[in-house]
Structure 1
């Protein structure tokens, strides 16, 4: 509309000015696609295909395709998300993807420069469809470096295991692989272990799914995972203890995330962390979610964690991230804070049992002292994220100043929980800003902690999950 009423000379001048912008602009516009449909729209009438219920005559599929135009766009794509909505086109006519990715003048390289792919699968994908889908994907982006697979609904381990593992083993340049929770079956693990350049093997997100033994078969077989540096997986504590026995592959790990949905007394948590410190001294990131199985364990047999859990990690001198989730708060005294500061001076993220299970009785003396905040700011100057549970026995009013936005030079997120109330303090470039959520009401730090502490408003939210709180378990943890 801007140029609707200008003359030809003006249009020509604008074209000359805009011509240098054309290629960079197209590169940016097509660099990431959140669906396959824009590309397939260059090949055939997607709308007609959708209206026809997925049926499309194969003899009409590629009629009149401008392959040069298609290639000019396809080679710009660097990252793509394939959601179940676009895959549903191929549930009826699986030949569609095969034809689109193979039968064209430029060979089988449908997206030659794509290095990241996110693939969403759902229960509609049957075994016979998967057998046709994954070989087609092999030609879709053969130079993949990053692959993340998500399930929009629970899928049994055996349903897609064979075709998916064959596809993964063909991705020889893959460096990062994310799998759904409880989806590390033996065949998939074997395929991933054969990849010579794989550095990251993780689960996508913390989930409340029921533990599945078939999906927790991570192992380090001989001559596998030669370059692995980051591992995140679901496991029982005894299985994790067995996996992390000292070996060159374990020693090379720099990032470790364990989602343990149940543990027993066969392997205690301090024993496990001592193994981590001994076997993985190069670790820079440690995240442990430790949830006991309340169905099989007496409530009285589960107690809060103590400093013995952290002492075991002392050999990991280069830690920058330490996150531990547990049903009970962790008690920290002044001497404990000093020890943390001496052991891991470069810590950037420290989150210790910040989301306790509020359905369990919590001793008011559990947790950290509110007075630890200035000390943490002094001892850990690089902190960008801090999460602690403060004990109820502390007197909230005290002499002295509490200025999080000044004392913590690099802090971006401060999560404080006390008496079932959660305070979330966020900053942007060290400038306080409110973080408002469902069911929350703003509260002033000044009136909560100390006179003239700071003028920032923070979130005060009930931790009761039935009252809009967000502390039920550890659903927000992302790996």
Structure 2
């Protein structure tokens, strides 16, 4: 769609009632790849300037818009005429890494999006001013149900802001081009009744810091159904076992677990071992599990008894992924990795299995 509307049309009553009030969704992008893919409308910067000067609804050009996607490497302030008090979904992909520019947009968003349910942010910009502005905006988002942000945005101030949001169900720390590891926000123990409605959580953290964050207060996170832990630096194997034991006890409703892990450099010099069966046994109490993924560099060999125990522990399992991408910089020994001859055991003991890798 080409969005090119002259000022005289913008001012007309026919346009106001016949078009602007009917728009429910708008995506804008000035990245070349979005134009090539035809994913977004060609809403030029000059057109946005005209709209900003002439739109007929004061603070909101599209008063009933529900979904807004904005992909830009320029100033995001041109997005303001398209904001609406009715907005439910906001997706920001910000190529501009200038902290001051992006701080302005969060300051501007404050009190403009009080009905927002989903917020998706993709940016490489970081800084204390930006973090403060984002926290102040999120503070009043009591209708917010889902947050997706870069992995380095789960800071102490952001956590302190969102932990009391009554409807927040999903926190997803999306993968980013920067491998920034930030455990700062997870070092303190959360007060009771934090994140009261949370059911899905993705964390970029070591098992030890995630264990403190999730399990030090017994009343928090007991309703989690999905947990993904992406350890952004090397870990020790005993950290993982302690974490999984606590997870099985603390989160009885869990149905999906994903652990993406790296081994510490000490394992390379001392000789690393395959994924411990103890890790799997520690989550046998999670009877509702339908999905388990453990991305670990060294696969283990399973026998029929191992698979039978899995079947007894997880009767609902549909997706099982254990060490799907071995790290061949380690020596892969003969006894590592499952043999094809074990497949009949999986078919027998895990009859609901749809994916096995």
TM-score, length of structure 2 as denominator length: 0.80
Q: Distance in 1 between matches of 2:318 and 2:66?
A: 31
How much has 1:319 moved relative to structure 2? 0.4
Question: 3-state DSSP class of the match of 1:341?
Answer: helix
How much has 1:40 moved relative to structure 2? 11
Between the two proteins, the alignment pairs up a number of residues equal to 327
1:144 matched to 2:116: yes
How much has 1:223 moved relative to structure 2? 3.9
Question: 3-state DSSP class of the match of 1:248?
Answer: coil
How much has 1:216 moved relative to structure 2? 5.6
- CA offsets, 1:315-355, max 9 Å, x none? 11000110001111122111111111111111121100111
Matches within 5 A, 1:55-134: 64-67=54-57, 74-75=63-64, 77-85=65-73, 88-90=74-76, 94=77, 100=81, 110-127=83-100, 129-134=101-106
- CA offsets, 1:364-407, max 9 Å, x none? 221112122233233323223221xxxxxxxxxxxxxxxxxxxx
How much has 1:279 moved relative to structure 2? 1.6
Q: Distance in 1 between matches of 2:341 and 2:241?
A: 27
Given the superposition, is the C-alpha separation of residues 207 and 222 from structure 1 closer, same or farther in structure 2, using an over 3 Å criterion?
farther
The equivalent of 1:47 in structure 2 is: 46
Contact 2:231 2:262 in 1 (8 A): yes
Matches within 5 A, 1:33-432: 33-35=26-28, 46-47=45-46, 64-67=54-57, 74-75=63-64, 77-85=65-73, 88-90=74-76, 94=77, 100=81, 110-127=83-100, 129-151=101-123, 153=124, 155-205=125-175, 209-214=179-184, 220-245=190-215, 247-265=218-236, 267-294=238-265, 298-387=268-357
Given the superposition, is the C-alpha separation of residues 288 and 208 from structure 1 closer, same or farther in structure 2, using an over 3 Å criterion?
farther
CA radius of gyration, larger in: 1
Q: Distance in 2 between matches of 1:233 and 1:218?
A: 15
TM-score, length of structure 1 as denominator length: 0.61
Given the superposition, is the C-alpha separation of residues 233 and 218 from structure 1 closer, same or farther in structure 2, using an over 3 Å criterion?
farther
Higher relative CO (Cα under 8 Å, sequence separation at least 6) belongs to: 2
Question: Which deviates more, 218-227 or 353-362?
Answer: 218-227
Question: 3-state DSSP class of the match of 1:364?
Answer: coil
Question: Pairwise CA RMSD of aligned residues?
Answer: 3.1
How much has 1:213 moved relative to structure 2? 4.0
Question: 3-state DSSP class of the match of 2:227?
Answer: strand
- CA offsets, 1:98-122, max 9 Å, x none? 5x36xxxxxxxx4243322111234
Given the superposition, is the C-alpha separation of residues 270 and 61 from structure 1 closer, same or farther in structure 2, using an over 3 Å criterion?
closer
Q: Distance in 2 between matches of 1:270 and 1:136?
A: 45
Given the superposition, is the C-alpha separation of residues 62 and 198 from structure 1 closer, same or farther in structure 2, using an over 3 Å criterion?
closer
Contact 1:269 1:309 in 2 (8 A): yes
The equivalent of 2:34 in structure 1 is: none
Gaps of at least 5 residues in structure 2 are 1-17, 31-39
Q: Distance in 1 between matches of 2:277 and 2:222?
A: 24
Question: 3-state DSSP class of the match of 2:221?
Answer: helix
Gaps of at least 5 residues in structure 1 are 1-22, 50-55, 102-109, 388-479
Question: 3-state DSSP class of the match of 1:371?
Answer: helix
Contact 2:208 2:239 in 1 (8 A): no
Q: Distance in 1 between matches of 2:41 and 2:331?
A: 56
